[in-house]
Amino acid sequence: MKIATKRLIIRDIKMKDAKSIAENANNREVWYFTEHIPYPYKLKDAKEFIKRQIKNSKEKPRKSYEFGIELKPEKQVIGLIGLFDISREHKKGGIGYWLGKRYRNQGIVSEAEKAVLGFAFNKLKLNKVHGDAMISNKASNRLFKKFGFRKVGILKEELIKKGKKLDGFRWELLKKNYKSK
């Protein structure tokens, strides 16, 4: 599976991506704002993750897509964006993403999210996509708002990081309200 944008290739991850995934995910901010990424993030963590995703990609129908975000000139994965918990029956799923620190604030996640939401609504025919962001994750919350997601609730004590219980926002986007900015 591959989606091309102006600057990016958004594609299924492969074992050859393990090193770049490990390097970019091994960041305290990535760990802090995500549920399933450990810190420190080692090469073995990336390889185990990729093995699981390759196995999941063979499910018919797929219940998740874990895409690598690749900058065309660099030809390496600099972050991930995924659709998960896809229900074909109810036409819904979730979206989540992270990006390596040196690639932030360049519109990369926005470009990737636009492409993946288009894939979710147009190819997979989903009706609703939800996303979660910790309240303190201002960038992710701005991005959800930019694409027309509606804040529908607060996830109380959703994550525990450094012994601190963190609250998050739940966002939802219906296909009919999608703004492809």
Q: Domain holding 19: CATH number?
A: 3.40.630.30
On average, the pLDDT of the chain sits at: 95
Whether residue 140 lies inside any domain: the answer is no
Cβ pair 137, 99 in contact under 8 A: no
Whether residue 139 lies inside any domain: the answer is no
pTM as predicted: 0.94
Count of domains for the chain: 1
Residue 48 backbone class (left: φ over 0; alpha: ψ -120 to 50; beta: rest): alpha
Average pLDDT over residues 118-122: 97
Q: 26 φ, ψ to 5°? A: -80, 70
Query: Could you report the per-residue pLDDT of 131-168, keeping only the tens digit for each?
Result: 999 999 999 999 999 999 999 999 999 999 989 999 99
Whether residue 81 lies inside any domain: the answer is yes
pLDDT score of 100: 96
Assign 181 a pLDDT band (cuts: 50, 70, 90).
Answer: low
Query: Which residues contact residue 85 at a Cβ distance below 8 angstroms, ignoring those fewer than 6 apart?
Result: 63, 64, 93, 94
Q: Which residue(s) pair with 128 in the sheet?
A: 92, 174
Query: Could you report the per-residue pLDDT of 81-106, keeping only the tens digit for each?
Result: 999 999 999 999 999 999 999 999 99
pLDDT score of 179: 73
pLDDT score of 17: 97
pLDDT score of 1: 86
Whether residue 122 lies inside any domain: the answer is yes
Whether residue 156 lies inside any domain: the answer is no
Q: 50 φ, ψ to 5°? A: -65, -40
Whether residue 169 lies inside any domain: the answer is no
Whether residue 12 lies inside any domain: the answer is yes
